Amino acid sequence: MNLSEQMDFINKIEADFPVESWTIDGIHIWPLVRTSLGTHLAYTEIGKSIDNTQGYLPNKIAKLINLMKGHADYIRAYVSDFSNNARINQKVDAVFLGDQVSRIYFNESWYDRFCDPFIGEFKLNGKNCLHMEPLHRYLTPRYAPGVFIQPHLDYLTIKSILAFNVVNHLEIKLQDFELFQRIMEINNVDFHLSSSQLAQYTYRLRLYADFFKKILHRVSPQIGFVVCYYGLEGMAFNLACREMGIPSVDIQHGVQGDLHRAYGRWNKLPKAGYELLPTIFWVWSEVEAKAINNWNEKVKKWHRPFIGGNPWLNLWWNNDNNICTYYKSYINNISGFSESSVKILLTLQPGVPNHGIPEWMINAIDRSPSDWFWLIRVHPCMLAERGNVKKLIATCSHKKVNVDDATDLPLPSILKSVDIHVTHSSSTVIEAQQYGVPTIAVSNMGKELYLEQFESGWLEVAYDEASLLTIIQKQHKQKSKLGNIQLQHKNTALSIQNLMNYVKQMG
Protein backbone atom coordinates (compact mmCIF):
# COMPACT_ATOMS: atom_id res chain seq x y z
CA MET A 1 0.00 0.00 0.00
CA ASN A 2 1.23 3.50 -0.79
CA LEU A 3 0.72 6.27 1.77
CA SER A 4 -2.66 7.31 0.43
CA GLU A 5 -3.88 3.71 0.53
CA GLN A 6 -2.49 3.30 4.04
CA MET A 7 -4.43 6.31 5.30
CA ASP A 8 -7.55 5.12 3.47
CA PHE A 9 -7.15 1.77 5.22
CA ILE A 10 -6.82 3.46 8.63
CA ASN A 11 -9.85 5.66 7.95
CA LYS A 12 -11.84 2.58 6.88
CA ILE A 13 -11.04 1.03 10.27
CA GLU A 14 -12.24 4.24 11.92
CA ALA A 15 -15.45 4.14 9.89
CA ASP A 16 -16.20 0.46 10.58
CA PHE A 17 -15.21 0.18 14.25
CA PRO A 18 -16.08 2.20 17.39
CA VAL A 19 -12.44 3.13 17.89
CA GLU A 20 -13.33 6.35 19.70
CA SER A 21 -14.86 4.26 22.51
CA TRP A 22 -11.97 1.80 22.91
CA THR A 23 -10.62 2.31 26.42
CA ILE A 24 -8.28 0.55 28.81
CA ASP A 25 -8.15 1.78 32.38
CA GLY A 26 -10.35 4.67 31.24
CA ILE A 27 -7.82 5.85 28.61
CA HIS A 28 -8.91 6.17 24.97
CA ILE A 29 -6.25 4.07 23.29
CA TRP A 30 -7.01 4.42 19.57
CA PRO A 31 -4.10 6.90 19.09
CA LEU A 32 -1.72 4.22 20.39
CA VAL A 33 -3.15 1.61 18.02
CA ARG A 34 -3.44 3.98 15.06
CA THR A 35 0.12 5.30 15.17
CA SER A 36 1.53 1.81 15.73
CA LEU A 37 -0.44 0.48 12.76
CA GLY A 38 0.57 3.45 10.62
CA THR A 39 4.24 2.98 11.49
CA HIS A 40 4.01 -0.71 10.64
CA LEU A 41 2.40 0.02 7.26
CA ALA A 42 4.95 2.71 6.43
CA TYR A 43 7.93 0.49 7.25
CA THR A 44 6.42 -2.37 5.28
CA GLU A 45 6.01 -0.05 2.28
CA ILE A 46 9.67 1.01 2.24
CA GLY A 47 10.84 -2.57 2.54
CA LYS A 48 11.91 -2.93 6.15
CA SER A 49 11.42 -6.45 7.43
CA ILE A 50 9.65 -6.61 10.77
CA ASP A 51 10.32 -9.63 12.93
CA ASN A 52 7.17 -10.94 14.57
CA THR A 53 8.46 -14.45 15.13
CA GLN A 54 9.98 -13.99 18.55
CA GLY A 55 7.95 -15.68 21.27
CA TYR A 56 6.39 -13.98 24.27
CA LEU A 57 8.91 -15.04 26.91
CA PRO A 58 12.05 -14.56 24.75
CA ASN A 59 10.70 -11.15 23.81
CA LYS A 60 10.29 -10.20 27.47
CA ILE A 61 13.76 -11.44 28.36
CA ALA A 62 15.30 -9.55 25.45
CA LYS A 63 13.59 -6.35 26.56
CA LEU A 64 14.78 -6.77 30.12
CA ILE A 65 18.36 -7.33 28.94
CA ASN A 66 18.23 -4.27 26.69
CA LEU A 67 16.86 -2.17 29.52
CA MET A 68 19.81 -3.09 31.71
CA LYS A 69 22.22 -1.78 29.09
CA GLY A 70 23.07 1.89 28.86
CA HIS A 71 23.16 2.63 32.58
CA ALA A 72 26.94 2.80 32.59
CA ASP A 73 26.67 5.51 29.93
CA TYR A 74 24.10 7.30 32.08
CA ILE A 75 26.40 7.35 35.11
CA ARG A 76 29.32 8.49 32.97
CA ALA A 77 27.27 11.31 31.41
CA TYR A 78 25.75 12.35 34.72
CA VAL A 79 29.20 12.72 36.28
CA SER A 80 31.06 14.21 33.31
CA ASP A 81 28.34 16.82 32.63
CA PHE A 82 27.39 17.30 36.26
CA SER A 83 26.99 21.08 36.03
CA ASN A 84 24.25 20.62 33.42
CA ASN A 85 22.16 18.24 35.51
CA ALA A 86 18.96 20.15 36.24
CA ARG A 87 17.28 19.92 39.61
CA ILE A 88 13.56 19.28 39.94
CA ASN A 89 13.10 21.47 42.98
CA GLN A 90 11.68 24.80 41.84
CA LYS A 91 8.76 26.24 39.92
CA VAL A 92 9.29 26.67 36.19
CA ASP A 93 7.29 28.35 33.44
CA ALA A 94 7.62 25.59 30.86
CA VAL A 95 8.52 21.90 30.76
CA PHE A 96 10.04 20.21 27.71
CA LEU A 97 10.19 16.53 26.78
CA GLY A 98 12.87 16.24 24.11
CA ASP A 99 13.70 13.28 21.90
CA GLN A 100 17.52 13.24 22.25
CA VAL A 101 18.01 12.18 18.62
CA SER A 102 17.73 15.81 17.53
CA ARG A 103 20.90 17.02 19.22
CA ILE A 104 23.71 18.32 17.03
CA TYR A 105 27.23 19.42 17.93
CA PHE A 106 26.90 23.18 17.84
CA ASN A 107 29.09 25.86 19.45
CA GLU A 108 31.22 23.18 21.16
CA SER A 109 28.28 21.52 22.88
CA TRP A 110 25.31 19.32 22.04
CA TYR A 111 22.38 21.51 21.11
CA ASP A 112 18.76 20.30 20.97
CA ARG A 113 17.58 21.94 17.75
CA PHE A 114 13.90 21.66 18.68
CA CYS A 115 13.86 22.43 22.40
CA ASP A 116 16.84 24.73 22.94
CA PRO A 117 15.60 27.57 20.66
CA PHE A 118 12.45 27.75 22.81
CA ILE A 119 14.35 27.43 26.08
CA GLY A 120 16.76 30.17 25.02
CA GLU A 121 13.94 32.61 24.31
CA PHE A 122 12.21 31.79 27.61
CA LYS A 123 15.51 32.40 29.42
CA LEU A 124 16.01 35.78 27.71
CA ASN A 125 12.62 36.80 29.10
CA GLY A 126 13.49 35.72 32.62
CA LYS A 127 11.49 32.49 32.44
CA ASN A 128 12.67 29.17 33.82
CA CYS A 129 12.36 25.86 31.98
CA LEU A 130 12.89 22.19 32.74
CA HIS A 131 14.20 20.00 29.92
CA MET A 132 13.56 16.27 30.37
CA GLU A 133 15.76 13.98 28.29
CA PRO A 134 14.67 10.39 27.47
CA LEU A 135 16.62 7.57 25.76
CA HIS A 136 20.03 6.15 26.57
CA ARG A 137 21.71 8.58 24.21
CA TYR A 138 24.01 10.72 26.29
CA LEU A 139 25.70 13.47 24.28
CA THR A 140 27.80 15.71 26.50
CA PRO A 141 28.48 18.46 27.21
CA ARG A 142 24.92 19.66 26.77
CA TYR A 143 24.23 23.17 25.55
CA ALA A 144 21.84 23.84 28.43
CA PRO A 145 20.86 22.03 31.64
CA GLY A 146 18.50 19.07 31.50
CA VAL A 147 17.52 16.01 33.47
CA PHE A 148 18.13 12.45 32.26
CA ILE A 149 14.91 10.51 32.80
CA GLN A 150 15.54 7.24 30.94
CA PRO A 151 16.70 5.29 34.03
CA HIS A 152 13.37 6.14 35.68
CA LEU A 153 11.45 5.11 32.58
CA ASP A 154 13.45 1.87 32.45
CA TYR A 155 12.41 1.03 35.97
CA LEU A 156 8.77 1.64 35.08
CA THR A 157 9.13 -0.43 31.92
CA ILE A 158 10.48 -3.37 33.92
CA LYS A 159 7.67 -2.91 36.41
CA SER A 160 5.10 -3.04 33.61
CA ILE A 161 6.64 -6.17 32.09
CA LEU A 162 6.54 -8.01 35.41
CA ALA A 163 3.11 -6.77 36.49
CA PHE A 164 1.05 -9.71 35.19
CA ASN A 165 -1.63 -9.48 37.89
CA VAL A 166 -2.15 -5.74 37.54
CA VAL A 167 -2.50 -5.90 33.78
CA ASN A 168 -4.98 -8.77 34.00
CA HIS A 169 -7.26 -6.69 36.22
CA LEU A 170 -7.39 -3.55 34.09
CA GLU A 171 -10.82 -2.50 32.86
CA ILE A 172 -10.79 -3.23 29.13
CA LYS A 173 -13.51 -1.95 26.78
CA LEU A 174 -12.58 -2.95 23.24
CA GLN A 175 -15.78 -3.59 21.36
CA ASP A 176 -15.19 -5.67 18.19
CA PHE A 177 -11.41 -5.72 18.76
CA GLU A 178 -11.21 -9.39 17.77
CA LEU A 179 -12.94 -8.54 14.51
CA PHE A 180 -10.40 -5.73 14.01
CA GLN A 181 -7.62 -8.29 14.35
CA ARG A 182 -9.41 -10.52 11.86
CA ILE A 183 -9.59 -7.63 9.38
CA MET A 184 -5.80 -7.33 9.62
CA GLU A 185 -5.46 -10.98 8.63
CA ILE A 186 -7.99 -10.72 5.78
CA ASN A 187 -6.07 -7.77 4.34
CA ASN A 188 -2.70 -9.53 4.75
CA VAL A 189 -1.51 -6.87 7.19
CA ASP A 190 1.05 -8.54 9.42
CA PHE A 191 0.13 -6.41 12.44
CA HIS A 192 -0.29 -8.48 15.57
CA LEU A 193 -1.54 -6.66 18.64
CA SER A 194 -3.60 -8.61 21.13
CA SER A 195 -5.81 -7.03 23.76
CA SER A 196 -3.45 -8.32 26.46
CA GLN A 197 -0.43 -6.71 24.76
CA LEU A 198 -2.36 -3.48 24.36
CA ALA A 199 -3.31 -3.63 28.03
CA GLN A 200 0.34 -3.95 29.02
CA TYR A 201 1.35 -1.02 26.79
CA THR A 202 -1.46 1.01 28.35
CA TYR A 203 -0.34 0.10 31.85
CA ARG A 204 3.19 1.19 30.98
CA LEU A 205 1.77 4.41 29.56
CA ARG A 206 -0.11 4.98 32.82
CA LEU A 207 3.08 4.45 34.84
CA TYR A 208 4.94 6.93 32.63
CA ALA A 209 2.10 9.45 32.92
CA ASP A 210 2.07 9.19 36.72
CA PHE A 211 5.83 9.75 36.72
CA PHE A 212 5.40 12.90 34.62
CA LYS A 213 2.55 14.06 36.84
CA LYS A 214 4.82 13.93 39.89
CA ILE A 215 7.30 16.17 38.10
CA LEU A 216 4.60 18.52 36.84
CA HIS A 217 3.13 18.79 40.32
CA ARG A 218 6.54 19.67 41.72
CA VAL A 219 7.50 22.34 39.15
CA SER A 220 3.97 23.65 38.37
CA PRO A 221 4.53 24.86 34.77
CA GLN A 222 2.15 26.96 32.71
CA ILE A 223 2.76 24.86 29.61
CA GLY A 224 4.41 21.64 28.43
CA PHE A 225 6.24 21.00 25.15
CA VAL A 226 6.96 17.65 23.53
CA VAL A 227 8.93 16.61 20.45
CA CYS A 228 7.38 13.75 18.43
CA TYR A 229 4.36 13.24 20.66
CA TYR A 230 3.33 9.91 19.14
CA GLY A 231 5.82 7.71 20.97
CA LEU A 232 4.71 6.06 24.21
CA GLU A 233 6.60 8.64 26.28
CA GLY A 234 5.08 11.55 24.37
CA MET A 235 1.54 10.23 24.69
CA ALA A 236 2.09 9.65 28.41
CA PHE A 237 3.32 13.25 28.70
CA ASN A 238 0.17 14.51 26.95
CA LEU A 239 -1.98 12.40 29.27
CA ALA A 240 -0.20 13.78 32.32
CA CYS A 241 -0.63 17.36 31.11
CA ARG A 242 -4.32 16.78 30.35
CA GLU A 243 -4.95 15.35 33.83
CA MET A 244 -3.05 18.23 35.44
CA GLY A 245 -4.91 20.89 33.43
CA ILE A 246 -1.73 21.98 31.63
CA PRO A 247 -1.82 22.60 27.85
CA SER A 248 0.64 20.37 25.96
CA VAL A 249 2.29 21.50 22.74
CA ASP A 250 3.74 19.22 20.09
CA ILE A 251 6.72 20.91 18.39
CA GLN A 252 6.79 20.14 14.67
CA HIS A 253 9.92 18.14 13.91
CA GLY A 254 9.33 17.02 10.31
CA VAL A 255 6.78 16.46 7.59
CA GLN A 256 3.14 16.30 8.69
CA GLY A 257 0.07 16.68 6.46
CA ASP A 258 -3.05 14.67 5.63
CA LEU A 259 -1.17 11.42 5.02
CA HIS A 260 0.75 11.37 8.29
CA ARG A 261 -0.62 8.81 10.75
CA ALA A 262 -0.15 11.12 13.75
CA TYR A 263 -1.35 14.40 12.25
CA GLY A 264 -3.74 13.76 9.39
CA ARG A 265 -7.36 12.67 8.97
CA TRP A 266 -8.40 11.80 12.52
CA ASN A 267 -11.94 10.95 11.45
CA LYS A 268 -13.29 9.62 14.74
CA LEU A 269 -12.73 11.33 18.06
CA PRO A 270 -14.43 11.37 21.48
CA LYS A 271 -16.31 14.56 22.35
CA ALA A 272 -13.37 15.78 24.44
CA GLY A 273 -10.74 14.63 21.98
CA TYR A 274 -8.02 12.13 22.82
CA GLU A 275 -6.09 12.42 26.07
CA LEU A 276 -3.00 11.09 24.28
CA LEU A 277 -2.92 13.87 21.67
CA PRO A 278 -1.48 17.33 22.37
CA THR A 279 -3.64 20.35 23.06
CA ILE A 280 -1.73 22.46 20.55
CA PHE A 281 0.26 21.55 17.46
CA TRP A 282 3.06 24.09 16.96
CA VAL A 283 3.50 24.00 13.18
CA TRP A 284 5.79 25.68 10.70
CA SER A 285 3.27 27.00 8.20
CA GLU A 286 -0.30 27.16 6.92
CA VAL A 287 0.22 23.83 5.14
CA GLU A 288 0.50 21.85 8.37
CA ALA A 289 -2.16 23.92 10.11
CA LYS A 290 -4.63 23.12 7.35
CA ALA A 291 -4.11 19.38 7.87
CA ILE A 292 -5.06 19.77 11.55
CA ASN A 293 -8.00 22.04 10.81
CA ASN A 294 -9.34 19.50 8.33
CA TRP A 295 -10.39 17.24 11.23
CA ASN A 296 -10.53 19.26 14.46
CA GLU A 297 -13.76 21.22 13.95
CA LYS A 298 -15.65 19.51 16.79
CA VAL A 299 -12.69 19.28 19.18
CA LYS A 300 -10.98 22.66 18.78
CA LYS A 301 -11.01 23.14 22.52
CA TRP A 302 -8.81 20.07 22.85
CA HIS A 303 -6.71 19.99 19.66
CA ARG A 304 -5.72 22.96 17.54
CA PRO A 305 -2.77 24.19 15.46
CA PHE A 306 -0.61 27.23 16.12
CA ILE A 307 1.58 28.58 13.31
CA GLY A 308 4.83 29.50 15.03
CA GLY A 309 7.43 28.89 12.31
CA ASN A 310 10.64 26.89 12.61
CA PRO A 311 12.68 28.33 15.51
CA TRP A 312 15.78 26.32 14.53
CA LEU A 313 15.84 27.73 10.99
CA ASN A 314 15.22 31.21 12.38
CA LEU A 315 18.66 31.08 14.01
CA TRP A 316 20.16 30.89 10.51
CA TRP A 317 18.16 33.78 9.10
CA ASN A 318 21.00 36.30 9.17
CA ASN A 319 23.80 35.15 6.85
CA ASP A 320 26.22 37.57 8.45
CA ASN A 321 26.03 36.30 12.01
CA ASN A 322 28.99 34.48 13.54
CA ILE A 323 27.34 31.06 13.36
CA CYS A 324 26.63 31.24 9.63
CA THR A 325 30.04 32.68 8.82
CA TYR A 326 31.86 29.97 10.79
CA TYR A 327 30.05 27.04 9.21
CA LYS A 328 30.25 28.46 5.69
CA SER A 329 34.01 28.65 6.07
CA TYR A 330 34.13 25.12 7.51
CA ILE A 331 32.14 23.60 4.64
CA ASN A 332 34.09 25.41 1.95
CA ASN A 333 37.28 24.01 3.46
CA ILE A 334 36.11 20.40 3.00
CA SER A 335 38.59 18.94 0.54
CA GLY A 336 37.31 19.20 -3.03
CA PHE A 337 33.95 20.76 -2.11
CA SER A 338 34.18 24.41 -3.16
CA GLU A 339 35.59 23.70 -6.64
CA SER A 340 32.99 21.01 -7.49
CA SER A 341 30.51 21.88 -10.25
CA VAL A 342 27.49 20.21 -8.62
CA LYS A 343 27.12 19.79 -4.87
CA ILE A 344 24.59 17.15 -3.79
CA LEU A 345 23.15 16.39 -0.36
CA LEU A 346 21.85 12.83 0.04
CA THR A 347 19.79 12.40 3.23
CA LEU A 348 19.40 8.83 4.45
CA GLN A 349 16.52 7.43 6.49
CA PRO A 350 15.90 4.52 8.86
CA GLY A 351 14.06 1.52 7.45
CA VAL A 352 15.35 1.88 3.89
CA PRO A 353 17.13 -1.36 2.91
CA ASN A 354 20.90 -1.68 2.41
CA HIS A 355 21.75 0.73 5.26
CA GLY A 356 19.64 3.47 3.72
CA ILE A 357 21.26 3.42 0.25
CA PRO A 358 19.76 1.12 -2.39
CA GLU A 359 22.34 -0.63 -4.55
CA TRP A 360 21.33 1.33 -7.63
CA MET A 361 22.09 4.60 -5.81
CA ILE A 362 25.58 3.36 -5.02
CA ASN A 363 25.99 2.73 -8.73
CA ALA A 364 24.67 6.21 -9.52
CA ILE A 365 27.23 7.82 -7.22
CA ASP A 366 29.95 5.67 -8.79
CA ARG A 367 28.91 6.72 -12.32
CA SER A 368 28.43 10.41 -11.57
CA PRO A 369 30.86 12.97 -13.07
CA SER A 370 34.14 13.30 -11.22
CA ASP A 371 33.52 16.98 -10.45
CA TRP A 372 30.28 16.29 -8.57
CA PHE A 373 30.47 16.28 -4.77
CA TRP A 374 28.21 14.03 -2.66
CA LEU A 375 27.47 14.87 0.98
CA ILE A 376 25.80 11.79 2.48
CA ARG A 377 23.95 12.57 5.70
CA VAL A 378 23.09 9.70 8.06
CA HIS A 379 19.80 10.18 9.91
CA PRO A 380 20.15 10.83 13.69
CA CYS A 381 18.13 7.65 14.38
CA MET A 382 20.56 5.48 12.41
CA LEU A 383 23.95 6.75 13.55
CA ALA A 384 24.95 3.18 14.37
CA GLU A 385 24.83 2.60 10.60
CA ARG A 386 27.47 5.25 9.86
CA GLY A 387 30.25 2.68 9.63
CA ASN A 388 28.24 0.51 7.27
CA VAL A 389 27.39 3.50 5.08
CA LYS A 390 31.07 4.42 4.85
CA LYS A 391 31.93 0.84 3.87
CA LEU A 392 29.35 0.95 1.08
CA ILE A 393 30.71 4.25 -0.17
CA ALA A 394 34.25 2.90 -0.04
CA THR A 395 33.27 0.50 -2.82
CA CYS A 396 32.79 3.48 -5.15
CA SER A 397 35.55 4.76 -7.35
CA HIS A 398 34.09 8.27 -7.00
CA LYS A 399 36.42 10.30 -4.80
CA LYS A 400 34.30 13.30 -3.87
CA VAL A 401 32.08 11.76 -1.20
CA ASN A 402 31.80 12.84 2.42
CA VAL A 403 29.81 11.10 5.17
CA ASP A 404 31.21 12.37 8.47
CA ASP A 405 30.96 16.13 7.92
CA ALA A 406 27.63 15.73 6.14
CA THR A 407 26.27 13.88 9.19
CA ASP A 408 27.77 16.04 11.91
CA LEU A 409 27.31 19.57 10.59
CA PRO A 410 24.06 21.50 11.20
CA LEU A 411 21.64 20.86 8.33
CA PRO A 412 20.96 24.57 7.58
CA SER A 413 24.68 25.18 7.09
CA ILE A 414 24.75 22.42 4.47
CA LEU A 415 21.58 23.54 2.70
CA LYS A 416 23.12 26.99 2.30
CA SER A 417 25.99 25.42 0.37
CA VAL A 418 24.54 22.68 -1.88
CA ASP A 419 22.76 22.69 -5.25
CA ILE A 420 20.63 19.54 -5.13
CA HIS A 421 18.96 17.42 -2.43
CA VAL A 422 18.31 13.68 -2.91
CA THR A 423 16.24 11.58 -0.50
CA HIS A 424 13.85 8.70 -0.08
CA SER A 425 11.26 10.85 1.74
CA SER A 426 13.04 12.99 4.35
CA SER A 427 11.35 16.15 5.62
CA THR A 428 14.55 17.93 4.57
CA VAL A 429 12.56 18.46 1.35
CA ILE A 430 10.69 21.28 3.13
CA GLU A 431 13.82 22.93 4.49
CA ALA A 432 15.69 22.51 1.21
CA GLN A 433 12.99 24.42 -0.65
CA GLN A 434 13.32 27.23 1.88
CA TYR A 435 16.95 27.58 0.80
CA GLY A 436 16.20 27.34 -2.92
CA VAL A 437 17.49 23.78 -3.22
CA PRO A 438 15.38 21.44 -5.41
CA THR A 439 14.89 17.81 -4.34
CA ILE A 440 14.90 14.48 -6.14
CA ALA A 441 12.90 11.80 -4.33
CA VAL A 442 13.76 8.18 -5.02
CA SER A 443 10.40 6.75 -3.91
CA ASN A 444 6.69 7.11 -4.52
CA MET A 445 6.38 7.89 -0.82
CA GLY A 446 8.47 11.01 -1.34
CA LYS A 447 6.16 12.16 -4.11
CA GLU A 448 3.05 11.51 -2.00
CA LEU A 449 4.36 13.32 1.07
CA TYR A 450 5.53 16.36 -0.86
CA LEU A 451 2.89 16.63 -3.56
CA GLU A 452 2.93 20.43 -3.33
CA GLN A 453 6.67 20.51 -4.08
CA PHE A 454 6.22 17.96 -6.87
CA GLU A 455 3.46 19.93 -8.58
CA SER A 456 5.44 23.19 -8.34
CA GLY A 457 8.62 21.62 -9.77
CA TRP A 458 10.66 21.74 -6.60
CA LEU A 459 10.64 17.95 -6.41
CA GLU A 460 11.06 15.33 -9.10
CA VAL A 461 11.19 11.54 -8.79
CA ALA A 462 13.88 9.10 -9.94
CA TYR A 463 13.61 5.32 -9.77
CA ASP A 464 16.97 4.19 -11.19
CA GLU A 465 20.54 5.37 -11.60
CA ALA A 466 20.12 6.72 -15.14
CA SER A 467 17.08 8.86 -14.30
CA LEU A 468 18.69 10.11 -11.08
CA LEU A 469 21.80 11.36 -12.87
CA THR A 470 19.72 12.92 -15.64
CA ILE A 471 17.37 14.71 -13.25
CA ILE A 472 20.25 16.03 -11.14
CA GLN A 473 21.66 17.70 -14.25
CA LYS A 474 18.21 18.99 -15.22
CA GLN A 475 17.39 20.39 -11.77
CA HIS A 476 20.81 21.98 -11.48
CA LYS A 477 20.35 23.83 -14.76
CA GLN A 478 16.83 25.06 -14.08
CA LYS A 479 16.90 25.75 -10.32
CA SER A 480 17.02 29.48 -10.97
CA LYS A 481 13.75 29.16 -12.95
CA LEU A 482 11.84 27.57 -10.09
CA GLY A 483 11.06 30.96 -8.63
CA ASN A 484 12.38 33.22 -5.89
CA ILE A 485 12.10 31.57 -2.52
CA GLN A 486 11.97 33.68 0.60
CA LEU A 487 12.93 31.86 3.76
CA GLN A 488 9.87 31.66 5.96
CA HIS A 489 11.08 33.62 8.94
CA LYS A 490 9.13 34.26 12.07
CA ASN A 491 10.32 36.04 15.16
CA THR A 492 10.59 33.14 17.62
CA ALA A 493 10.32 35.38 20.68
CA LEU A 494 7.14 36.99 19.34
CA SER A 495 5.69 33.61 18.35
CA ILE A 496 6.24 32.25 21.86
CA GLN A 497 4.67 35.36 23.38
CA ASN A 498 1.66 34.94 21.08
CA LEU A 499 1.44 31.26 22.03
CA MET A 500 1.38 32.06 25.76
CA ASN A 501 -1.33 34.70 25.15
CA TYR A 502 -3.21 32.13 23.08
CA VAL A 503 -3.05 29.64 25.96
CA LYS A 504 -4.41 32.24 28.39
CA GLN A 505 -7.33 32.92 26.08
CA MET A 506 -8.08 29.19 25.96
CA GLY A 507 -8.56 29.29 29.70
- Residue-level pLDDT at 488: 65
- The pTM score is 0.93
- Residue-level pLDDT at 50: 41
- Residue-level pLDDT at 52: 43
- Residue-level pLDDT at 452: 92
- Residue-level pLDDT at 60: 60
Where does residue 174 fall: left (phi above 0), alpha (psi -120 to 50 degrees), or beta otherwise?
beta
How does strand 248-251 pair with strand 223-227? parallel
345: Cα separation from own chain's centroid: 20
The domains of the chain, with CATH numbers, are: 3-68+150-312+493-506 (no CATH), 322-482 (3.40.50.12580)
**Of the candidates 268, 212, 219, 285, which has an alpha carbon nearest to the alpha carbon of residue 243?**
212
**Mean pLDDT of residues grouped by 10 in the chain (507 residues)?**
94 98 97 96 67 52 68 93 95 96 89 96 96 94 96 92 86 96 94 92 97 98 97 98 98 96 97 98 96 97 95 83 82 92 96 91 95 96 93 91 95 94 96 93 95 94 96 90 68 93 84
How does strand 129-133 pair with strand 172-173? unpaired
Q: What is the CA radius of gyration of the chain?
A: 23
How far apart CA 229 and CA 240 sit, in angstroms, is 13
How far apart CA 401 and CA 366 sit, in angstroms, is 10
- Residue-level pLDDT at 54: 47
